Amino acid sequence: MKVIGKILLSSVLLAGSFSAIPADAAKAAGKVSIVLDGYPLSFPVEPTVLKGTTMVPFRAISEALGIQVTWNQKEQKITATKKEEGNAKQVVLTIGSKNALVDGKTVPLANAPQTIRSSTMIPLSFFSQQFGAGVAWDQATQTVSITSPRKDMYTLGFYALSSFDERAYVPSFDSVAFGWSRIDPSGQFTLEGKEYKWPQAAGETTPESIVQDAAQQGTSPYLMVYSVDSSGELTKNLEDQALQEKTTSQIVEAASSKGFKGIALDLEGLGLTGDKNKVKAEYSAFVKKLSGKARSAGLKLTLILHPLNSSYAGYDYKSLSGLADDLVIMAYAFEQEKGPEPLKQVDEAIRLALKETSKDKLVLGISLGSENAGTVNAKIGLAKRYDLKGVAFWRLGLIGQPAWAKINESIEMK
């Protein structure tokens, strides 16, 4: 993906690295800040320190970790249930009791849960002990850092012409989108050109063999169709019904004949100027036509979209989510990929998308052109926090071993 749209958390800390926050961890209530996967958590009640132990709102952290919470007013009990891979772990806490029930067994607490302004406050260390969340304390900044446990998520990898050296990563992804086709400046679909083209063979390794190997190894190969409206090529296609009919047919035919299992449509740059509602309607009409043909051919459809807080307003997430299997939020290039993407803007991109469609339709796009081994898991953490379908990485060839190791700490790859 080009400039305008280019495109685990770590496992539990070593036992004993955290038991309780030091007695001087907070000199006054409200001084302690808590971050989950590198990004602040919002709390209905400020964390406080009781007898040397940091107490936090149970529901706020539980739900951020994907744990279901219910409250029994009569019995003054709060129940947390974590479901994973068919198994369920249940924790029951009672206000005023220093004993918790974990899958029916009694477990002592450092402090008894308390109710403060309608929020149940419990020892923060409990999350590390029972839900696999790593916890660390930074004395200098008075910050508790929580690292969410490793999670099984859907993963999509992008593969470009320059991704060949990292092709060994392909089998680790659920799906890989191969950027080998485009809509050219004349508005025509093509497998040729200077980039986003069908690659040449490298000895016995051919593009066909890479696609076939991916499918045989359980990774769904997608044909990615790229274009950007810098010369009005997309507008030309969207406004020409005959050309649009031809283009959608050619895309489906190419994907089917080349052995792909799906299509990843990456049409960028729409809605920067002009009548944005008109552009949205035209793009949705294009996708509707492509979607119908793709489904008839047994192909899945992924849409790669600018975030709703970008300058490109030509994408109607609500209507598009009903036409595609999933939407990739390209939550990057906010600052021309000069460094790690601002977490606040990535967070906003997710929240805006969730207003238009459901979390099971959304995949968070992460660019390794922006991120590095030290920052990539913070972005994955946001996808976890909102329980999105998964994450997508731009791109193989940019990942590198240090970042790959960190990703595997956070996500249970295929």
383-397 residue pLDDT tens: 999 999 999 999 999
CATH 3.20.20.80-classified regions of the chain:
154-410
pLDDT at 1: 52
pLDDT at 117: 87
264-280 residue pLDDT tens: 999 999 999 999 999 99
Q: How wide is the angle at C-alpha 261 spanned by C-alphas 257 and 264, nearest 5°? A: 100
Which superfamily, per CATH, for 154-410? Glycosidases (3.20.20.80)
CB 5 within 8 A of CB 334: no
% pLDDT > 90, the chain: 72
Higher pLDDT, 322 or 8: 322
pLDDT at 12: 28
DSSP 65: T
For tokens 């040397």, name the residue.
Answer: 52
User: What are the distances in angstroms from CA 55 to CA 25, 49, 140?
Assistant: 12, 6, 19
| Segment holding 246, helix H or strand E | helix 241-257
CATH 3.30.457.10-classified regions of the chain:
33-147
Any idea which architecture 33-147 has in CATH?
2-Layer Sandwich (3.30)
